[in-house]
Amino acid sequence: MDASWYVLLALLLGFAIGAASVHLLGVAAQRGRRVMAIASEPVPDGIAAMVHVLESAGIVMDGSSQVILSSPGAVALDLVDGRALRSPEILAAVRRVWRTGEAEVLDLVHRRGRIGTGTEMHLRVRIAPLGNRFMLVLAADRTEELRLAGVRRDFVANISHELKTPIGAVAVLAEAIEAAAEDPARVRAFAGRMQLEADRLARMSKELIDLSRIEAADPLAHAERVSISRIVDVAIDRNKVQAAAKRMRIIPRVLDEAEVLGSEELVTMAVQNLVANAVQYSPEATHVGVGVRVADGIVEIAVTDKGVGIAPEEQERVFERFYRVDPARSRVTGGTGLGLSIVKHVAASHGGEITLWSRPGQGSTFTLRLPVAGAPAKETA
Protein backbone atom coordinates (compact mmCIF):
# COMPACT_ATOMS: atom_id res chain seq x y z
CA MET A 1 0.00 0.00 0.00
CA ASP A 2 1.17 3.48 -0.85
CA ALA A 3 2.64 5.41 2.06
CA SER A 4 0.16 8.21 1.51
CA TRP A 5 -2.67 5.88 2.49
CA TYR A 6 -0.97 5.12 5.79
CA VAL A 7 -0.68 8.81 6.48
CA LEU A 8 -4.37 9.29 5.68
CA LEU A 9 -5.46 6.42 7.90
CA ALA A 10 -3.31 7.73 10.78
CA LEU A 11 -4.88 11.16 10.42
CA LEU A 12 -8.39 9.70 10.43
CA LEU A 13 -7.62 7.53 13.46
CA GLY A 14 -6.14 10.48 15.36
CA PHE A 15 -9.16 12.60 14.55
CA ALA A 16 -11.52 9.87 15.82
CA ILE A 17 -9.55 9.40 19.03
CA GLY A 18 -9.42 13.16 19.61
CA ALA A 19 -13.14 13.56 19.03
CA ALA A 20 -13.91 10.70 21.42
CA SER A 21 -11.61 12.19 24.07
CA VAL A 22 -13.23 15.60 23.78
CA HIS A 23 -16.68 14.02 24.13
CA LEU A 24 -15.66 12.02 27.22
CA LEU A 25 -14.12 15.09 28.80
CA GLY A 26 -17.29 17.05 28.15
CA VAL A 27 -19.44 14.31 29.75
CA ALA A 28 -17.11 14.12 32.76
CA ALA A 29 -17.16 17.88 33.18
CA GLN A 30 -20.96 17.93 33.00
CA ARG A 31 -21.24 15.18 35.61
CA GLY A 32 -18.71 16.99 37.80
CA ARG A 33 -20.75 20.17 37.60
CA ARG A 34 -23.90 18.25 38.62
CA VAL A 35 -22.09 16.63 41.56
CA MET A 36 -20.68 19.97 42.69
CA ALA A 37 -24.11 21.55 42.39
CA ILE A 38 -25.61 18.83 44.58
CA ALA A 39 -22.74 18.94 47.09
CA SER A 40 -22.76 22.71 47.32
CA GLU A 41 -26.53 23.03 47.55
CA PRO A 42 -27.16 24.84 50.83
CA VAL A 43 -28.99 23.32 53.77
CA PRO A 44 -32.61 24.58 53.75
CA ASP A 45 -33.10 27.67 55.91
CA GLY A 46 -35.58 25.93 58.23
CA ILE A 47 -33.13 23.16 59.07
CA ALA A 48 -30.26 25.60 59.60
CA ALA A 49 -32.40 27.75 61.92
CA MET A 50 -33.51 24.65 63.85
CA VAL A 51 -29.93 23.45 64.39
CA HIS A 52 -28.72 26.86 65.57
CA VAL A 53 -31.41 27.16 68.28
CA LEU A 54 -31.04 23.62 69.63
CA GLU A 55 -30.06 23.49 73.30
CA SER A 56 -28.80 19.94 72.84
CA ALA A 57 -26.11 18.95 70.37
CA GLY A 58 -27.22 18.97 66.75
CA ILE A 59 -25.02 18.29 63.71
CA VAL A 60 -25.84 18.19 59.98
CA MET A 61 -23.45 16.22 57.75
CA ASP A 62 -23.14 15.88 53.98
CA GLY A 63 -22.70 12.77 51.86
CA SER A 64 -18.96 12.71 52.46
CA SER A 65 -19.54 12.61 56.24
CA GLN A 66 -18.29 16.15 56.65
CA VAL A 67 -19.84 18.49 59.22
CA ILE A 68 -21.62 21.39 57.50
CA LEU A 69 -23.68 22.68 60.45
CA SER A 70 -23.34 22.29 64.21
CA SER A 71 -25.29 23.75 67.13
CA PRO A 72 -23.65 25.53 70.09
CA GLY A 73 -24.44 22.43 72.15
CA ALA A 74 -22.34 20.26 69.84
CA VAL A 75 -19.43 22.66 70.24
CA ALA A 76 -19.89 22.71 74.03
CA LEU A 77 -19.75 18.90 74.13
CA ASP A 78 -16.62 19.00 71.95
CA LEU A 79 -18.16 16.71 69.33
CA VAL A 80 -16.83 18.55 66.29
CA ASP A 81 -13.39 19.61 65.16
CA GLY A 82 -13.76 21.92 62.19
CA ARG A 83 -15.62 19.85 59.58
CA ALA A 84 -14.87 16.51 61.24
CA LEU A 85 -16.56 14.51 63.99
CA ARG A 86 -14.33 13.83 66.99
CA SER A 87 -16.09 10.61 68.00
CA PRO A 88 -15.12 7.58 65.89
CA GLU A 89 -18.19 5.71 67.22
CA ILE A 90 -20.57 8.38 65.93
CA LEU A 91 -18.73 8.60 62.60
CA ALA A 92 -18.97 4.82 62.13
CA ALA A 93 -22.69 4.95 62.89
CA VAL A 94 -23.18 7.81 60.39
CA ARG A 95 -21.54 5.73 57.66
CA ARG A 96 -23.77 2.75 58.51
CA VAL A 97 -26.87 4.91 58.23
CA TRP A 98 -25.69 6.20 54.83
CA ARG A 99 -25.42 2.58 53.67
CA THR A 100 -28.64 1.23 55.17
CA GLY A 101 -30.88 4.30 55.23
CA GLU A 102 -32.11 3.18 58.67
CA ALA A 103 -31.93 5.55 61.66
CA GLU A 104 -29.80 4.46 64.63
CA VAL A 105 -29.71 5.23 68.36
CA LEU A 106 -26.61 4.52 70.39
CA ASP A 107 -25.38 5.17 73.93
CA LEU A 108 -21.72 5.92 74.32
CA VAL A 109 -19.12 7.46 76.59
CA HIS A 110 -17.49 10.57 75.17
CA ARG A 111 -14.52 12.37 76.68
CA ARG A 112 -14.83 16.12 76.39
CA GLY A 113 -11.55 18.00 76.30
CA ARG A 114 -8.24 17.30 74.61
CA ILE A 115 -5.84 17.73 77.50
CA GLY A 116 -5.27 14.84 79.89
CA THR A 117 -8.08 12.30 80.20
CA GLY A 118 -10.87 14.84 79.66
CA THR A 119 -14.31 14.78 81.24
CA GLU A 120 -16.27 11.55 80.85
CA MET A 121 -19.78 12.17 79.52
CA HIS A 122 -22.59 9.72 78.80
CA LEU A 123 -24.38 10.57 75.56
CA ARG A 124 -27.44 9.21 73.79
CA VAL A 125 -26.99 9.82 70.07
CA ARG A 126 -29.69 9.63 67.38
CA ILE A 127 -28.64 9.51 63.71
CA ALA A 128 -31.14 9.76 60.85
CA PRO A 129 -31.13 10.67 57.15
CA LEU A 130 -32.29 14.22 56.43
CA GLY A 131 -33.66 13.86 52.93
CA ASN A 132 -31.34 12.30 50.35
CA ARG A 133 -28.37 14.60 50.80
CA PHE A 134 -27.87 15.22 54.48
CA MET A 135 -27.52 13.35 57.76
CA LEU A 136 -28.80 14.65 61.13
CA VAL A 137 -26.97 13.76 64.35
CA LEU A 138 -28.61 14.63 67.69
CA ALA A 139 -26.77 14.03 70.99
CA ALA A 140 -28.22 14.39 74.49
CA ASP A 141 -26.02 14.52 77.58
CA ARG A 142 -27.31 11.90 80.05
CA THR A 143 -24.45 12.22 82.54
CA GLU A 144 -26.48 14.00 85.22
CA GLU A 145 -29.52 11.78 84.61
CA LEU A 146 -27.47 8.64 85.17
CA ARG A 147 -25.74 10.17 88.21
CA LEU A 148 -29.11 11.00 89.80
CA ALA A 149 -30.40 7.51 89.04
CA GLY A 150 -27.36 6.14 90.87
CA VAL A 151 -28.00 8.50 93.79
CA ARG A 152 -31.61 7.29 94.01
CA ARG A 153 -30.49 3.66 94.00
CA ASP A 154 -27.94 4.43 96.69
CA PHE A 155 -30.59 6.30 98.69
CA VAL A 156 -32.94 3.31 98.76
CA ALA A 157 -30.10 0.95 99.66
CA ASN A 158 -28.70 3.30 102.30
CA ILE A 159 -31.98 4.11 103.99
CA SER A 160 -32.86 0.43 104.33
CA HIS A 161 -29.44 -0.19 105.87
CA GLU A 162 -29.44 2.90 108.08
CA LEU A 163 -32.89 2.23 109.51
CA LYS A 164 -32.15 -1.45 109.97
CA THR A 165 -29.13 -0.71 112.19
CA PRO A 166 -30.84 1.20 115.04
CA ILE A 167 -34.01 -0.90 114.81
CA GLY A 168 -31.96 -4.08 115.10
CA ALA A 169 -29.95 -2.59 117.97
CA VAL A 170 -33.13 -1.69 119.87
CA ALA A 171 -34.45 -5.24 119.43
CA VAL A 172 -31.19 -6.78 120.67
CA LEU A 173 -31.00 -4.41 123.64
CA ALA A 174 -34.60 -5.18 124.58
CA GLU A 175 -33.72 -8.88 124.70
CA ALA A 176 -30.60 -8.07 126.74
CA ILE A 177 -32.65 -6.09 129.26
CA GLU A 178 -35.06 -8.97 129.63
CA ALA A 179 -32.19 -11.40 130.19
CA ALA A 180 -30.56 -9.08 132.74
CA ALA A 181 -33.72 -8.33 134.70
CA GLU A 182 -32.01 -9.49 137.93
CA ASP A 183 -29.06 -7.10 137.45
CA PRO A 184 -30.13 -3.44 137.84
CA ALA A 185 -26.72 -2.07 136.77
CA ARG A 186 -26.78 -3.96 133.47
CA VAL A 187 -30.40 -3.01 132.91
CA ARG A 188 -29.49 0.68 133.32
CA ALA A 189 -26.56 0.32 130.91
CA PHE A 190 -28.67 -1.43 128.29
CA ALA A 191 -31.51 1.05 128.76
CA GLY A 192 -29.10 3.96 128.22
CA ARG A 193 -27.80 2.41 125.05
CA MET A 194 -31.35 1.75 123.88
CA GLN A 195 -32.17 5.40 124.46
CA LEU A 196 -29.22 6.45 122.29
CA GLU A 197 -30.35 4.20 119.43
CA ALA A 198 -33.95 5.40 119.79
CA ASP A 199 -32.74 9.03 119.68
CA ARG A 200 -30.71 8.30 116.57
CA LEU A 201 -33.70 6.66 114.89
CA ALA A 202 -35.93 9.60 115.79
CA ARG A 203 -33.34 12.08 114.53
CA MET A 204 -32.97 10.21 111.25
CA SER A 205 -36.74 10.07 110.76
CA LYS A 206 -37.05 13.79 111.46
CA GLU A 207 -34.26 14.66 109.02
CA LEU A 208 -35.80 12.48 106.31
CA ILE A 209 -39.12 14.27 106.80
CA ASP A 210 -37.34 17.65 106.75
CA LEU A 211 -35.50 16.73 103.55
CA SER A 212 -38.69 15.57 101.83
CA ARG A 213 -40.48 18.75 102.89
CA ILE A 214 -37.68 20.96 101.59
CA GLU A 215 -37.62 19.16 98.24
CA ALA A 216 -41.41 19.29 97.86
CA ALA A 217 -42.07 22.89 98.91
CA ASP A 218 -40.99 26.25 97.51
CA PRO A 219 -39.93 28.46 100.45
CA LEU A 220 -40.01 31.53 98.22
CA ALA A 221 -43.72 31.07 97.45
CA HIS A 222 -44.54 32.55 100.88
CA ALA A 223 -41.25 34.26 101.62
CA GLU A 224 -40.58 36.48 104.62
CA ARG A 225 -37.66 38.73 105.44
CA VAL A 226 -35.26 36.79 107.64
CA SER A 227 -32.56 38.36 109.83
CA ILE A 228 -29.28 36.49 109.46
CA SER A 229 -27.87 37.74 112.78
CA ARG A 230 -30.93 36.36 114.58
CA ILE A 231 -30.56 33.02 112.81
CA VAL A 232 -26.90 32.82 113.81
CA ASP A 233 -27.80 33.54 117.46
CA VAL A 234 -30.43 30.78 117.46
CA ALA A 235 -28.10 28.25 115.77
CA ILE A 236 -25.34 28.95 118.30
CA ASP A 237 -27.73 28.74 121.24
CA ARG A 238 -28.99 25.30 120.09
CA ASN A 239 -25.44 23.94 120.11
CA LYS A 240 -24.15 25.48 123.34
CA VAL A 241 -24.76 22.38 125.46
CA GLN A 242 -22.90 20.07 123.04
CA ALA A 243 -20.04 22.55 122.78
CA ALA A 244 -19.78 22.93 126.57
CA ALA A 245 -19.61 19.15 126.96
CA LYS A 246 -16.47 19.19 124.78
CA ARG A 247 -15.04 22.35 126.42
CA MET A 248 -15.44 24.20 123.13
CA ARG A 249 -16.37 27.78 122.33
CA ILE A 250 -18.56 28.93 119.46
CA ILE A 251 -17.36 32.39 118.42
CA PRO A 252 -19.67 34.55 116.28
CA ARG A 253 -18.25 37.32 114.08
CA VAL A 254 -21.02 39.22 112.35
CA LEU A 255 -19.38 41.87 110.19
CA ASP A 256 -22.53 42.93 108.33
CA GLU A 257 -26.23 42.90 109.14
CA ALA A 258 -28.34 41.38 106.38
CA GLU A 259 -31.74 39.95 105.61
CA VAL A 260 -32.71 37.28 103.10
CA LEU A 261 -36.07 36.30 101.62
CA GLY A 262 -37.30 32.83 102.46
CA SER A 263 -38.23 30.59 105.35
CA GLU A 264 -36.71 31.48 108.73
CA GLU A 265 -37.26 27.90 109.90
CA LEU A 266 -35.37 26.36 106.98
CA VAL A 267 -32.47 28.83 106.95
CA THR A 268 -32.09 28.36 110.72
CA MET A 269 -32.11 24.59 110.20
CA ALA A 270 -29.32 24.89 107.62
CA VAL A 271 -27.07 27.10 109.78
CA GLN A 272 -27.79 24.99 112.87
CA ASN A 273 -26.76 21.84 110.98
CA LEU A 274 -23.48 23.45 109.92
CA VAL A 275 -22.68 24.52 113.49
CA ALA A 276 -23.69 21.10 114.89
CA ASN A 277 -21.39 19.33 112.39
CA ALA A 278 -18.51 21.63 113.31
CA VAL A 279 -18.99 20.89 117.02
CA GLN A 280 -19.37 17.13 116.47
CA TYR A 281 -16.28 16.66 114.34
CA SER A 282 -13.87 19.03 116.09
CA PRO A 283 -11.50 17.93 118.87
CA GLU A 284 -12.20 18.91 122.47
CA ALA A 285 -11.00 22.27 123.82
CA THR A 286 -11.02 23.91 120.38
CA HIS A 287 -13.38 26.52 118.97
CA VAL A 288 -15.85 26.92 116.12
CA GLY A 289 -16.15 30.20 114.25
CA VAL A 290 -19.35 31.54 112.70
CA GLY A 291 -18.73 34.54 110.45
CA VAL A 292 -21.20 36.68 108.52
CA ARG A 293 -20.35 39.19 105.80
CA VAL A 294 -22.02 40.75 102.77
CA ALA A 295 -20.28 41.05 99.40
CA ASP A 296 -21.82 42.01 96.04
CA GLY A 297 -25.38 41.46 97.21
CA ILE A 298 -24.60 38.03 98.70
CA VAL A 299 -24.57 37.25 102.41
CA GLU A 300 -21.99 34.63 103.33
CA ILE A 301 -22.38 32.60 106.52
CA ALA A 302 -19.10 30.76 107.08
CA VAL A 303 -18.76 28.04 109.75
CA THR A 304 -15.14 27.10 110.46
CA ASP A 305 -13.95 24.16 112.55
CA LYS A 306 -10.61 22.76 113.68
CA GLY A 307 -11.39 19.17 112.77
CA VAL A 308 -9.42 16.60 110.82
CA GLY A 309 -10.40 18.11 107.46
CA ILE A 310 -11.81 16.43 104.36
CA ALA A 311 -9.73 14.98 101.55
CA PRO A 312 -10.25 16.59 98.10
CA GLU A 313 -11.75 13.42 96.60
CA GLU A 314 -14.39 13.36 99.37
CA GLN A 315 -15.43 17.00 99.20
CA GLU A 316 -17.94 16.71 96.34
CA ARG A 317 -19.68 13.75 97.97
CA VAL A 318 -20.19 15.09 101.48
CA PHE A 319 -23.44 16.75 100.36
CA GLU A 320 -24.97 13.45 99.22
CA ARG A 321 -27.58 11.77 101.38
CA PHE A 322 -26.14 9.36 103.94
CA TYR A 323 -22.58 9.89 102.74
CA ARG A 324 -20.05 9.93 105.59
CA VAL A 325 -16.34 10.57 105.34
CA ASP A 326 -15.78 8.31 108.36
CA PRO A 327 -18.79 5.99 108.86
CA ALA A 328 -17.41 4.45 112.05
CA ARG A 329 -16.90 7.84 113.68
CA SER A 330 -20.34 9.01 112.57
CA ARG A 331 -21.95 6.07 114.33
CA VAL A 332 -20.15 7.01 117.54
CA THR A 333 -21.24 10.65 117.28
CA GLY A 334 -24.76 9.74 116.18
CA GLY A 335 -24.47 11.32 112.76
CA THR A 336 -27.08 10.37 110.16
CA GLY A 337 -25.33 11.60 107.01
CA LEU A 338 -28.32 13.81 106.13
CA GLY A 339 -27.34 17.18 107.65
CA LEU A 340 -25.26 18.53 104.77
CA SER A 341 -27.77 17.26 102.21
CA ILE A 342 -30.42 19.33 103.99
CA VAL A 343 -28.14 22.38 103.93
CA LYS A 344 -27.57 21.93 100.18
CA HIS A 345 -31.30 21.77 99.45
CA VAL A 346 -32.09 24.76 101.67
CA ALA A 347 -29.43 26.78 99.87
CA ALA A 348 -30.72 25.79 96.41
CA SER A 349 -34.36 26.45 97.30
CA HIS A 350 -33.41 29.98 98.44
CA GLY A 351 -31.44 30.75 95.28
CA GLY A 352 -28.06 30.24 96.95
CA GLU A 353 -25.33 27.66 97.33
CA ILE A 354 -23.14 25.90 99.86
CA THR A 355 -19.38 25.77 99.30
CA LEU A 356 -16.60 23.94 101.11
CA TRP A 357 -12.95 24.68 101.77
CA SER A 358 -11.07 21.98 103.61
CA ARG A 359 -7.58 20.70 104.08
CA PRO A 360 -6.71 17.47 105.92
CA GLY A 361 -5.24 18.26 109.33
CA GLN A 362 -6.28 21.93 109.22
CA GLY A 363 -10.06 21.85 109.46
CA SER A 364 -12.93 22.87 107.21
CA THR A 365 -15.01 25.93 106.35
CA PHE A 366 -18.56 25.54 105.05
CA THR A 367 -19.98 28.74 103.55
CA LEU A 368 -23.70 29.20 103.00
CA ARG A 369 -24.21 31.93 100.36
CA LEU A 370 -27.67 33.50 99.94
CA PRO A 371 -28.89 36.55 98.00
CA VAL A 372 -29.55 39.58 100.20
CA ALA A 373 -33.15 40.75 100.29
CA GLY A 374 -33.74 44.06 98.54
CA ALA A 375 -34.81 47.14 100.46
CA PRO A 376 -38.50 46.98 101.48
CA ALA A 377 -40.86 49.13 99.44
CA LYS A 378 -41.87 52.39 101.12
CA GLU A 379 -45.53 53.03 101.73
CA THR A 380 -46.96 56.00 99.89
CA ALA A 381 -49.49 58.30 101.41
Per-residue pLDDT at 177: 82
What pLDDT sits at residue 28? 58
| pLDDT value of residue 272 | 92
**Residue 349 binned pLDDT confidence (cut-offs 50, 70, 90):** confident
352, pLDDT greater than 50? yes
pLDDT band at 301 (very low <50, low <70, confident <90, very high): very high
pLDDT band at 370 (very low <50, low <70, confident <90, very high): very high
CA dihedral 347, 348, 353, 357 (to 10 degrees): 80
Angle at 282 between CA 208 and CA 306, to 5 degrees: 120
DSSP-based three-state secondary structure for 360: coil
Residue count (the chain): 381
208 pLDDT higher than 80: no
pLDDT tens digit string along 176-197?
Answer: 887 887 888 888 888 887 877 7
Confidence of residue 366 (pLDDT cuts 50, 70, 90): very high
Q: What is the pLDDT of residue 23?
A: 63
Q: Is the dihedral of CA 150, 151, 154, 156 positive or negative?
A: negative
Q: Is the pLDDT of residue 219 over 80?
A: no
**Spatial separation of the C-alpha atoms in residues 209 and 207, rounded to whole Å:** 5
- Domain 143-216, CATH among 1.10.287.130, 2.102.10.10, 1.10.1510.10, 3.30.420.40: 1.10.287.130
Question: Using 50, 70 and 90 to split pLDDT, how confident is the model at 367?
Answer: very high
Q: What's the average model confidence in pLDDT over 198-227?
A: 72
pTM value?
Answer: 0.52
221 conformational bin, left if phi > 0, alpha if psi -120 to 50, beta if neither: alpha
- Quickly state the pLDDT bin for 353 (edges 50, 70, 90): very high
Query: Does 45-141 match 143-216 in CATH topology?
Result: no
Query: What residue spans of the chain are helical by DSSP H?
Result: 3-40, 45-53, 72-76, 88-100, 143-179, 184-216, 228-238, 240-245, 264-280, 312-315, 327-333, 339-349
Chain segment 145-187, per-residue pLDDT in tens = 887 777 667 666 666 656 666 777 777 778 888 788 788 888 8
Q: Answer whether residue 129 shows pLDDT above 70.
A: yes
CATH architecture of 219-374: 2-Layer Sandwich (3.30)
128 in Cβ contact with 97 (< 8 Å): yes
For the segment(s) 45-141, the CATH number from 3.40.50.720, 3.40.50.2000, 1.10.10.10, 3.30.450.20 is: 3.30.450.20
Average pLDDT, the chain: 80
Domain residue extents for the chain: 45-141, 143-216, 219-374
pLDDT value, residue 216: 59
Instruction: Round to the nearest angstrom and report the end-to-end CA distance of the chain.
Output: 127
Give residue-wise pLDDT tens across range 314-346.
Answer: 887 888 766 665 554 444 445 556 788 889 988
Segment 50-92, tens digit of pLDDT: 777 777 889 999 888 899 988 888 888 889 988 899 899 999 9
CB 367 within 8 A of CB 355: yes
